């Protein structure tokens, strides 16, 4: 490790269903972890002193930079960012409201784009700046199966398509600085957030439409993240973890 010191793992969106799984996965190791989200009430740190959990608005660039500077000593390295921050949102471009058509809310559009594209960009750019000064590192962004377009998810699909473009651009720009940037694109996983957003009937339909004939297991997504974190020759990739489902 360049210059000695600890090597940190940073996890954004750490309070979500998948984010908490990522925290627990890496907490089994010894590297210090900085877990970030707007709320951290569901992150268990008891008995795990190497986990630091902080509630923060990840779209406020100055606050994120100050937190990174205050929590992580300059002698330490930022080795890995798992950029899982995001917000699933369902809203069609047009919907019937009484006898008239109602357009997608611009307020909701901006909120979804901010949560799924702006916030990940803020975190990734600030972490990359620290990585570049300490010998490089790895960034793994969260895209989605919806990035290619999904009926009823205009804003969410657009944001996730943006994440994939951002991932490939950052990979090209930052590769010479020793920073790899990739993304995972999960399909539908059997986690509380998925079950809260969909009925049992909808989940069964999705499972039946998936060539794997089931929803994904969290361990399978974590395996994909491990692959992207460990393979030094993978850069600018978007790894689908969808069981073969195409929307």
What is the gyration radius of the CA atoms in the chain, in angstroms?
18
The full 3-state SS of 19-46, as one line of letters, equals HHHHHHHHHCCCCCEEEEECCCCCCCCC
SS3 of 168-192 = HHHHHHHHHHCEEEEEEEECCECCH
Whole-angstrom distance, CA of residue 125 vs CA of residue 144: 20
| Nearest Cα residue to 161 out of 188, 143, 139, 184 | 143
At 64, is the secondary structure helix, strand, or coil?
A: helix
Which residue, among 51, 61, 47, 59, has the nearest Cα to 11 in the 3D structure?
Answer: 51
* 163, 121 contact by CB (below 8 A): no
Calculate helix-pair angle for 17-27, 218-230, nearest 10 degrees: 60
Rounded-to-integer distance, Cα 236 and Cα 98, Å: 46
Active-site positions?
Answer: 156
Task: Give the integer Cα–Cα distance in Å for 127 and 150.
Answer: 31
Closest CA to 33 of 80, 73, 69, 75: 80
């Amino acid at each position: 490790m360049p210059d000695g010191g600890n090597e940190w793992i940073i996890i954004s969106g750490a309070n979500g269903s998948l984010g908490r799984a990522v925290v627990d996965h890496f907490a089994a190791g010894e590297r210090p972890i900085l877990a970030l989200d707007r709320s951290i009430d569901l992150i268990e740190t008891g008995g795990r002193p190497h986990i630091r959990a902080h509630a923060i608005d990840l779209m406020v660039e100055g606050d994120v930079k100050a937190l990174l500077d205050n929590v992580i000593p300059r002698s330490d390295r930022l080795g890995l960012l798992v950029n899982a921050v995001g917000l699933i949102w369902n809203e069609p471009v047009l919907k019937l409201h009484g006898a008239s058509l109602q357009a997608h809310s611009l307020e909701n559009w901006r909120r979804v784009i901010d949560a799924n594209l702006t916030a990940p960009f803020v975190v990734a750019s600030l972490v990359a700046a620290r990585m570049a000064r300490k010998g490089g590192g790895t960034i793994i962004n969260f895209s989605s199966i919806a990035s290619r377009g999904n009926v009823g998810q205009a804003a969410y699909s657009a944001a996730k398509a943006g994440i994939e473009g951002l991932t490939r651009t950052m990979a090209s720009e930052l590769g010479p600085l020793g920073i790899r940037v990739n993304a995972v694109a999960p399909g539908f996983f059997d986690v509380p957030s998925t079950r809260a957003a969909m009925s049992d009937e909808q989940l069964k339909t999705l499972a039946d439409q998936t060539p794997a004939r089931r929803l994904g297991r969290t361990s399978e997504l974590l395996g994909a993240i491990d692959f992207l974190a460990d393979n030094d020759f993978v850069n600018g990739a978007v790894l689908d973890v969808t069981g073969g489902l195409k929307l």
